[in-house]
Structure 1
């Protein structure tokens, strides 16, 4: 867990980075405040293994399904901030719709998981064999 820093110090850092202390942060208890800010700063604003634009597109897709309007709005604006186009945002949401639909169908039909896994392995092998050899 991150060190406990004085709330005022963390709030000053937030103001420098964001221009204000968002209200949703203000209610976090003092002993968790710095920890939550450090996580947010690293995962939402920092460079990680997944480029920020793609993380935000994933966030839009996830929260389109969870139906959290706060998170959907946040991730949409963050995706735009990190360079996502309206077309990329639409594709992310459409992909989520398709993926969730297949999940509903496979689970509802109680598809045999072992058979599904075996067939998927065969599909992957087939596609890999069809791919042109890299030189």
Structure 2
């Protein structure tokens, strides 16, 4: 198995891009294995911070939710500040954190109870189908007004 060796010139180029984007090269970047630097930076630059189908604000709110679930204070700080940079309000940040907490709570309960996945899948798809078919002239329930049938 060949070891990938990022050239010193490539490392300097990447560090230059990072410094241009952030104003400095964070010290933790120096701790990355040199062979991982190019892949890490390309994903961060082109996917996380780049323009993709998911708006940057939403990507950062997703990152914040994952940060809370994994209990990573480094990522929580970064994603909170990046979400604000991309226009997230304090209320949206709180909702993203609460959504992550709610998802983790339900997941913890169902996994601990060893809920039957096939039954859960069938019931979920049936519920979504029911809500769709009963939405009054709308293609989906309004986010701020959940369908009462969803909670029945």
TM-score by length of 2: 0.80
Q: Distance in 2 between matches of 1:45 and 1:81?
A: 11
Q: Which secondary structure state, in structure 2, belongs to the residue aligned with residue 111 of structure 1?
A: coil
**Over residues 62-91 of structure 1, what are the superposed CA-to-partner deviations in whole Å (9 max), with x where a residue is unaligned?**
111111100110100110010000000000
**Over residues 26-69 of structure 1, what are the superposed CA-to-partner deviations in whole Å (9 max), with x where a residue is unaligned?**
22233332222111111221011111100100111111111110
The runs of 5 or more residues in structure 1 that have no matched partner are: none
Selected match of 1:55 from 31, 44, 59: 59
Identify the range of structure 1 (73-82 vs 32-41) with the bigger mean alpha-carbon deviation.
Answer: 32-41
- Number of equivalences: 134
Q: Distance in 1 between matches of 2:55 and 2:41?
A: 20
Q: Distance in 1 between matches of 2:131 and 2:19?
A: 50
CA RMSD of aligned residues (A): 2.0
Selected match of 1:117 from 102, 121, 124: 121
Higher relative contact order (CA 8 A, sep 6+): 1
Residue 88 (structure 1) aligns with: 92
